[in-house]
Chains A and B, each alone.
Chain A
Amino acid sequence: MTDLFDRRLVYVTGKGGVGKTTVAAALGLAASRAGKRTLVCEVAEQERITTAFGHEPAGFSEVEVAEDLSAFSINPEDAKEEWLRHQLRSGRLASMLSSSRIFQYLTAAAPGLAEVVTMGKIWELAQLERRAKSSRPYDLVIVDAPATGNGLALLRAPRTFADIAKVGPIRNHAETIHRFTVDPRQSAVMAVALAEEMPVNETIDLENRLQEQMGLKLSHVVVNGVLPERFSGAEAETMAAANGDAGPAAREALEAALTGHERAKSQRSQVGRLKRGAEAPVATLPFLPTPELDMAGLEELSRELERRL
């Protein structure tokens, strides 16, 4: 954990629906408790993190949600504006360019531009010397990144862009961002998974592709939603044997218990498969039977992360 929090950037990705946002938010809580000035940053318009910490959506601005913990949601359009203003060193020229229709057409789908300005903003957030003097500096930026395929494409975007633009300001900037994201002392990539067949496959695949495409190692895998193993094998046998003689209410309860037992067993074997298949250390988080992402749940998961990472 300590070495993870000594980086400047932790990039959290994984298959869709595995709980990346939850893990990123819990990790943020843990880091802020460890005394790091932390920012958890989403790459979507949903602002789920801001709201999970009980705050109103704040648009393109950093919101302090707890002591030493801020949340932010990157919108590529705003990131592009900001980047242009910085690049041209003139708000007037930037807005002239932004309002040009040709420029809008071009940049709306220009190969990887949205991705590169998004990564540029992430990089900027992770710098102790921020672009604007008034911005607060962070020790650690945690990115709640898009799902595996898109997440990897986003991470690779600066390299891709630097290759297209052989020289010039974009290239230099993209190079800087790329060097930062692949420097293991500064940045780490974490995968979130579930203890199920396909998320496990996708995580192993992600680790391989990260290595192939960027020469990067996955720093950690966090398996979310792992069910407790309530019943021993012997107890399961007892329950199965009792099922025939039991009354209707007991039968429903026994079947629920046996299904739960089977699920927990199958999860354990998937976690085992992941541990054998992945080089990165694998930590598990317990399934919380709470309704949705809330503060109490995040708090509990952040303590678990502290213990297990």
Chain B
Amino acid sequence: MSAAAAGVGRLIARKEVVICAGSGGVGKTTTSAAIAAGVAAQGRSAAVLTIDPAKRLANSLGLSELGNEERQVDPVLLDAAGLGGEGELWAMMLDAKRTFDEVVETHAPDDATRDAVLSNPIYRELSNTVAGSQEYMAMEKLHQLHLEGRYDLLVLDTPPTRNALDFLDAPRRLARFIDSKSLSFFAGASKAGLGIFGRGTSLLFSVMKRATGVDLLQDLAEFFNTFGDMTDGFRERAERVDALICDSRTTFLLVTSPRAASIEEARYFARKLAAEDLPFGGVVANRVREPVRGAGGARLQTELGKVLEPELARKVGRNLEEQRGLAERDAHNLDLLRKRMGRKPLVVVPELPGDVHDLEGLAAMGEHLFSADALRS
């Protein structure tokens, strides 16, 4: 088997888009970056996309900053980390607000509409602060880059949400918000003036007014009114993004740690993927402690006694037993994970001695990810 097709390589062979999902803190960002770096090291071009307010990816890729454009990771640095070769590694940290603005600029029929939307207070909050718009824009950017076709592989590191499903649901919620059903209502309201609703023409509207305040409704109405002509464009895009994530060239990898809480989350997520009929490639279990195989107890103490003072020997023995316990717990949880995931392929990445935050770390992680023994069936 060629190195390219071993371990996680088998799960992403012939894929053009890899979406790494999972709960926070399981190592999604490093896994995404290590997969892209591994593919680059195999001589192909790969880009990793992340939405990251804390600049984690920039940290790990040795880039001082990441903008809304992909940047190439310095080949000299890649070489130094043992990832060099014919391939290219690109990275991008998504600016959700800017991506949203670009979509508006693309779809606006004229400059006046564009400016009206961009300066609308509802739009500003929608594009800037709202949970959901980041996810929406991540998918949007993914779609854009895929369309441009400059990379052999795109890896998306999904945003850190408490609930791993948010990044699937949020864009749809947002698309629905912009959708015409609520729009026609507000478009009418804005053209006719809000006054008619205040007189009780629409009980619903007057109740809404009572709950929210007139200005807010007025702004919403204006927002929808200016946005009106662009909704078709938005809907089409949303449909194309949906089509891309369901495509057979796309695969979802679920990243998890061997802790019970993240396994529960992984199971939940796997069900969701199945229910949505999305292409689920497999699971990456990260930071799994390697089993302790050797003897402990008296035999170990005898061996240690030959090279260490008794007190230190006992401490070393105690330390090993604790490691053994922790590794057994991980093995147990891994079994649980395998059962929960049915027959899905499982890639096991051991806990590395140092924490992974630079290219060398990514290279070390990549070696495990792409090794033949990583893949357990």
Let me know if A132 is at the binding interface, CB within 8 A: no
Give min CB distance, B259 to chain A, whole Å. 7
Give Cα A74–Cα B369 distance, bound, in whole angstroms: 38
Give min CB distance, A247 to chain B, whole Å. 4
Closest to A247 in B: B303
Give Cα A109–Cα B224 distance, bound, in whole angstroms: 14
Give min CB distance, B264 to chain A, whole Å. 8
Q: Which chain A residues in 80-136 approach chain B with CB under 8 Å?
A: 84, 87-88, 93, 96-97, 100-103, 105-106, 108-112, 114-115
Let me know if A226 is at the binding interface, CB within 8 A: no
Which of B121, B131, B323 is close to A260, meaning CB atoms less than 8 Å apart? B323
Binds B, one of A25-33, A56-64, A145-153, A295-303: A145-153
Q: Are B316 and A257 neighbours in the complex by a CB distance under 8 Å?
A: yes
Q: Are A108 and B181 neighbours in the complex by a CB distance under 8 Å?
A: no
Which of A170, A201, A251 is close to B56, meaning CB atoms less than 8 Å apart? A201
Binds B, one of A12-20, A177-185, A215-223: A12-20
Whether A249 contacts B315 in the complex (CB less than 8 A), given A150-B131, A165-B215, A205-B55, comes out as no
Binds A, one of B10-18, B35-43, B97-105, B202-210: B202-210
Let me know if B70 is at the binding interface, CB within 8 A: no
A-contact bits for B108-129, CB 8 A (1 contact / 0 none): 0000000000000110011001
Whether A201 contacts B54 in the complex (CB less than 8 A), given A44-B162, A153-B131, A168-B212, comes out as yes
Which of B173, B208, B213, B325 is close to A171, meaning CB atoms less than 8 Å apart? B213
Tell me if A's interface is mostly helix, strand, loop or mixed.
helix
Q: Are B25 and A17 neighbours in the complex by a CB distance under 8 Å?
A: yes
Q: How many residues of B contact A (CB 8 A)?
A: 78
Let me know if B6 is at the binding interface, CB within 8 A: no
Let me know if B341 is at the binding interface, CB within 8 A: no
Closest to B127 in A: A111
Give Cα A166–Cα B129 distance, bound, in whole angstroms: 17
Q: Are B357 and A198 neighbours in the complex by a CB distance under 8 Å?
A: yes
Which of A18, A97, A108 is close to B208, meaning CB atoms less than 8 Å apart? A97
Q: Are B162 and A167 neighbours in the complex by a CB distance under 8 Å?
A: no
Give min CB distance, A118 to chain B, whole Å. 11
Which of B173, B208, B322 is close to A103, meaning CB atoms less than 8 Å apart? B208
Q: Are A111 and B129 neighbours in the complex by a CB distance under 8 Å?
A: yes
Q: Are B300 and A250 neighbours in the complex by a CB distance under 8 Å?
A: yes
Q: Are A105 and B160 neighbours in the complex by a CB distance under 8 Å?
A: no
Give min CB distance, A76 to chain B, whole Å. 10
Whether A15 contacts B54 in the complex (CB less than 8 A), given A160-B125, A256-B323, comes out as yes
Q: Which of B129, B163, B323 has the most CB of A within 10 A?
A: B129
Q: Are A163 and B121 neighbours in the complex by a CB distance under 8 Å?
A: yes
Q: Are B160 and A149 neighbours in the complex by a CB distance under 8 Å?
A: yes
- Chain A residues contacting B185 (CB-CB under 8 Å) are 102
Tell me if B's interface is mostly helix, strand, loop or mixed.
helix
Q: Are A260 and B319 neighbours in the complex by a CB distance under 8 Å?
A: yes
- Chain A residues contacting B60 (CB-CB under 8 Å) are 198
Let me know if A66 is at the binding interface, CB within 8 A: no
Binds B, one of A2-10, A238-246, A273-281: A238-246
Which of A15, A96, A100, A108 is close to B25, meaning CB atoms less than 8 Å apart? A15
Q: Are A164 and B176 neighbours in the complex by a CB distance under 8 Å?
A: no
Which of B26, B293, B309 is close to A252, meaning CB atoms less than 8 Å apart? B293
Give Cα A105–Cα B231 distance, bound, in whole angstroms: 15
Give min CB distance, B5 to chain A, whole Å. 31
Q: Are B125 and A201 neighbours in the complex by a CB distance under 8 Å?
A: no
Q: Are A247 and B306 neighbours in the complex by a CB distance under 8 Å?
A: yes
Give min CB distance, A148 to chain B, whole Å. 6
Give min CB distance, B62 to chain A, whole Å. 13
- Chain A residues contacting B173 (CB-CB under 8 Å) are 108-109
Let me know if A253 is at the binding interface, CB within 8 A: yes
Let me know if B71 is at the binding interface, CB within 8 A: no
Q: Are B300 and A17 neighbours in the complex by a CB distance under 8 Å?
A: no
- Chain A residues contacting B126 (CB-CB under 8 Å) are 111
Closest to B305 in A: A250
Whether A109 contacts B130 in the complex (CB less than 8 A), given A249-B295, A256-B323, comes out as yes
Give min CB distance, B19 to chain A, whole Å. 17
Let me know if B304 is at the binding interface, CB within 8 A: yes
Give min CB distance, A254 to chain B, whole Å. 6
- Chain A residues contacting B122 (CB-CB under 8 Å) are 111, 164
Whether A43 contacts B162 in the complex (CB less than 8 A), given A105-B179, A253-B320, A291-B329, comes out as yes
Whether A100 contacts B214 in the complex (CB less than 8 A), given A146-B162, A150-B162, comes out as no
Let me know if B174 is at the binding interface, CB within 8 A: yes
- Chain A residues contacting B309 (CB-CB under 8 Å) are 238
Closest to A96 in B: B207
| Residues of A bordering B, CB below 8 Å | 15-18, 43-45, 48, 84, 87-88, 93, 96-97, 100-103, 105-106, 108-112, 114-115, 146-150, 153, 156-157, 160, 163-171, 196-198, 201-202, 205-206, 209, 230-231, 235, 238-239, 242, 245-254, 256-257, 259-260, 262-263, 266, 289, 291-293
Would you mind naming 23 contact pairs between A and B with Cβ atoms under 8 Å apart? Answer: A17-B257, A44-B163, A45-B163, A88-B207, A101-B181, A106-B182, A147-B25, A147-B160, A150-B131, A160-B129, A163-B121, A163-B125, A171-B213, A198-B59, A198-B355, A238-B308, A242-B308, A249-B296, A252-B293, A253-B320, A257-B316, A262-B353, A291-B329
Given contacts A149-B54, A169-B212, A289-B322, 18 further A-B contacts (CB under 8 A): A16-B26, A18-B25, A44-B163, A87-B210, A96-B204, A103-B204, A109-B173, A147-B160, A153-B131, A163-B121, A168-B213, A196-B355, A209-B53, A247-B306, A254-B304, A262-B354, A291-B260, A291-B329
